[in-house]
A and B are shown apart, each in its own frame.
Chain A
Amino acid sequence: MPVRKVSRRTFVKLGSAGVGIAALGAGLGALAQADELAPGGRTVSRTTGGSRRAIASACLQCPARCGILGFVEEGQLVKIEGNPKDFHNQGRLCAKGQAGVNHVYNPDRLLYPMRRAGSRGANLWQRVSWEEALQEVAARLAELHRSGNPDGLLFMAGLFEGTQPIVQRFARAFGTSRLCQEMHLFQSNKAIAQQLTWGSSQEINDVARSRYILNFGVNPYESHALFVPFVQRLIEGRMKGARLVTLDPRLSSTAAKSDEWLPIRPGTDGVVALAMANVIMQKGLHDLEFIRRWTNIGSAQLAEYLATFTPVMAGEISDLSPASIERIAIEFATNKPSTTLSAGGATLHAHGVQAERAVALLNAVTGNVDVPGGYCLPRTYQLAEPEPRPPEPGQALSPVQCSRLFDEIQEGKIRVENLMTFMANPAYSYPDPQLTGRVLADPNLVPFHVAVDTYVTETSVLADIILPAATYLESWDIQSTPSYELVPQVSLMQPVVKPLGESIAFHDIAIELARRIGGGMEQYFDFGSMEAYVLATASQVPGLAEAGGLKYLKENGHWHGPDARPSYRIYESEGFRTPSGKFEIISKAMEDKGFSALPDFPSLAENRKKEEQLMLVTFQWNVHTYGRTAPSMWLSEIVHENPVWIHPETAESLGISKGDLVRVSSELGDLTAKAWVTQGIHPDVIAMGACVGHWESGRVAQGKAFESKDPNTRVIWWQKHGNGTHPYRIIPLKVDPIGGSPAWMGLPVTLAKA
């Protein structure tokens, strides 16, 4: 038998790749055996067989920040793989991460600064020089700055760009309090509920070690804030025998592969969680010690409060059987360690904060908080930005204000002089995107709009000047994303290839604009280059300097303390970061604002559908992240349509067959789409994917074949199928008054054959 030669270098790589795997116990298949093939770290040219240059960086196709290696051949990015040295994603990458190559080389990508040459939205442009574009933008911003009205600048950061500290630095240095994060639309209900409850904005479910995983509408098999790192541990946990129970009105891929799928009425997860907590307390299955020591409520008081939430009552509201609610409550409390999962499905409702607090409560009453296999606090480094740091604004825009932004601009409550968008696409991503479009098209409401973007999107088509942004694969950033290994990590994003055409990374645009605007703003960009910024930040991370600092990061992409081991119950030494230092089941902050201090389930009266109505929910496909990925041909090839999921009985009663065109109508308007009749949905619910249906964002996203240097664009075969229908256009703006995320899910609609 021929034994494959393994060089020492390869062997060392294999060894280091094994660290993260070993931490999970039995791991991800074939590894670290001398005669096995290498699990990554290098690739070869298909034409010459030679090794390609590999640059370690971080992905930004979603917020997970998986470690990647970009492989470069003759100056072209040809392949992206997971970085085996990164224990976060263990060398693996999802479809979206792989398709990052498309993001760089889409023929419709913006490569030059452009000035509007027709009316807003006409998509007529004149190419201008960077000098001309920067001069105009800087002159307008400098005037605003000098006139003492920095709030006249509204800055909107795209879904994942908002996580980059340089974005916040730019807004603060300019002095505007009006920085809007597009991510609030989808995450702030959960984040604020979590902050109020235990002082952290997200939990880390230690699912690789769980025995029971109770899933309130999360779909990690297709989409998750920390997608690949999370689903890897979820599968590990399940392979070791953990039971996964999913409550979801739709048979998501996660629901489909769960041990049990319980179809639930949208928006009722909170009342089910409260009823489960009630059952747990009544049966004496609660963790008295944790409640007594680490929450701010007595167990008798809690039991009394919960007593009104009976399984019968919750069953009536949620369509689950009372027996099921009681059974899963008992299973959750007796198969420890256990954890809940919750995200958009439970929280993207008008009462989403309360739903999230109700779900979090389950973990507290069972003592699953920050224990192995439980509901854990995130471990991250607080990365220190270089000095001097711009002051925080007195009154930053709240998530509620961000969601209501275009309403408030239209009503004159917010006066905008200059709008700057960076990869933000509110004319697609907001509820009632037509309203956003109308506001952006009106020069009285938005006198000037500069978009920093990679495509002419639904939003940047309405700009006056577009500055071509480098993609994440051509940019710098440094982040500490929470890892499922429960030790803090640092990951570096660095240019894998030079920015294409005349595109420039946002940070370099910001540095140059700050210099030109002046008036004191430039001092906050004294660090000169983003590499210097990253260096200054990296040098503050304890232990990283000894490992080699930025040099180490540039070579490896990722760093964590070599001796770091997961630790649990860190609240025992640090307390929770809440006013009381405890897990706040009673929230004084909620009470002060006029809301129920205890997790509550509000009356459904206002949200209740009429008899003949159905409820619309939206979801994310596994190959897309919101509207961001449709320009990627390898992804849109797989998912380019979003038919309406309809239960067979519902379809039959309306005379609808698979493939028919149907009309979905809400109070805001209606849309026409194809019908997809499936057993995988609650009969009172219809579902649509929300990631396609673009009317701008380039021809690939619109499903149009065209001639370009890439022969593939000639054979966009799904042109004849169309590119779907964007469901947000019939979703009106209704906002959770605490968390600020819109009520995306459970919209009352009527359905008819078109």
Chain B
Amino acid sequence: MSRVRYGMLIDLRRCTGCNACAVACKAENAVPLGRWRGWVKVVEKGVYPHASRSFLPAICNNCENPICVRNCPTQATYAREDGIVMVDPHRCIGCKYCIASCPYDVRYLSPFKKIVQKCLWCNHRVDAGLLPACVQTCPTGAMTFGDVNNPISEISRLLASNPVQVLKPEKDTRPHVFYIAADMVAMRTMGTPWEGKE
């Protein structure tokens, strides 16, 4: 029997860019204004009238090979057995090495606590048998979360039956957030035209 390894799959054919995931995260994790554990990237491409817009909800990839864990000088950042990359608030000294290490720009320094915080896939919910807040609320069911080591889980079934992508595979981080129908432009840029981070 293999251990539980969590992963997330975001089907962008279902994503409407509505930001419910981003706001659910704010509510669930008391994320300070100006900081984000998850947000929706928006990119436009094409020339009128053949223009289009793509969305890409961005969160921590909870990588199998996390650079942040390697680079944390105090071992505050560590990976759980099930793959969730944690930050121990008591060990974190706010040095921001992990922020600099992360290719996905998903970590932030809390303006109130002066320690680093990030998406933990709502570990407190997962440990209580609940889906992460973003997955729970996604109006159109674009997000699926579960055990990628369990071959009969919904996420394994979807991973097995669809072409999927991960962000920046060349970094060899082995991300565990997978996308269906991600747009290349959205995968490359971190910012958004009118929203997003400070």
Contact A35 B153 (CB under 8 A): yes
Is A23 an interface residue, CB under 8 A from the partner? no
Contact A38 B130 (CB under 8 A): yes
Is A228 an interface residue, CB under 8 A from the partner? yes
List CB contacts (< 8 Å) of B1-52 with chain A: 1-4, 13-14, 16-20, 22-24, 26-30, 32-34, 44, 46-49, 51-52
State whether A634 and B53 are in contact (beta carbons under 8 Å apart), knowing that A1-B150, A43-B130 are contacts in the complex.
Answer: no
**What residues on B are CB-neighbors of A39 within 8 Å?**
131, 136
Q: Which residue of B lies closest to A45 (CB)?
A: B124
Is A484 an interface residue, CB under 8 A from the partner? no
List CB contacts (< 8 Å) of A647-664 with chain B: 647-648
**What residues on B are CB-neighbors of A712 within 8 Å?**
32-33
Pick from B16, B52, B111, B145: contact of A235, CB under 8 Å:
B16
List CB contacts (< 8 Å) of A1-58 with chain B: 1-2, 4-6, 10, 27-31, 33, 35-40, 42-44, 46, 49, 51
Contact A717 B140 (CB under 8 A): no
**What residues on A are CB-neighbors of B111 within 8 Å?**
715
Is A749 an interface residue, CB under 8 A from the partner? no
Pick from A2, A27, A40, A680: contact of B51, CB under 8 Å:
A680
Is B169 an interface residue, CB under 8 A from the partner? no
**Number of residues from B at the complex interface, CB < 8 A:** 66
Query: What 1/0 flags go to B144-160 for Cβ under 8 Å of A?
Result: 11110110111100000
State whether A40 and B136 are in contact (beta carbons under 8 Å apart), knowing that A253-B53, A712-B33 are contacts in the complex.
Answer: yes
Contact A46 B140 (CB under 8 A): no
**What residues on B are CB-neighbors of A261 within 8 Å?**
49, 51-52
**What residues on A are CB-neighbors of B13 within 8 Å?**
238-239
Is B143 an interface residue, CB under 8 A from the partner? yes
**What residues on B are CB-neighbors of A235 within 8 Å?**
14, 16, 140-141
Query: What 1/0 flags go to A83-112 for Cβ under 8 Å of B?
Result: 000000101111101110100000000000
- Complex CA gap A638/B192 in Å reads 11
**What residues on A are CB-neighbors of B4 within 8 Å?**
1-2
**What residues on A are CB-neighbors of B34 within 8 Å?**
637, 715, 717
Contact B124 A99 (CB under 8 A): no
State whether A634 and B23 are in contact (beta carbons under 8 Å apart), knowing that A232-B140, A256-B53, A715-B34 are contacts in the complex.
Answer: yes
- Complex CA gap A635/B153 in Å reads 34
Contact B33 A638 (CB under 8 A): no
**What residues on B are CB-neighbors of A254 within 8 Å?**
16
State whether A101 and B19 are in contact (beta carbons under 8 Å apart), knowing that A679-B47, A717-B33 are contacts in the complex.
Answer: no
Q: Which 9 A-B pairs have the closest CB atoms?
A: A28-B141, A30-B154, A256-B53, A221-B16, A679-B51, A95-B23, A717-B34, A29-B141, A95-B19
20 contacts between A and B (CB under 8 A): A1-B149, A6-B129, A33-B154, A38-B131, A44-B125, A81-B133, A81-B136, A82-B137, A92-B141, A98-B137, A99-B27, A221-B18, A253-B53, A633-B33, A638-B23, A639-B194, A676-B194, A679-B47, A681-B48, A717-B33
Question: Which B residues lie at the A interface, using CB under 8 A?
Answer: 1-4, 13-14, 16-20, 22-24, 26-30, 32-34, 44, 46-49, 51-55, 111-112, 124-131, 133, 135-147, 149-150, 152-155, 193-195, 198
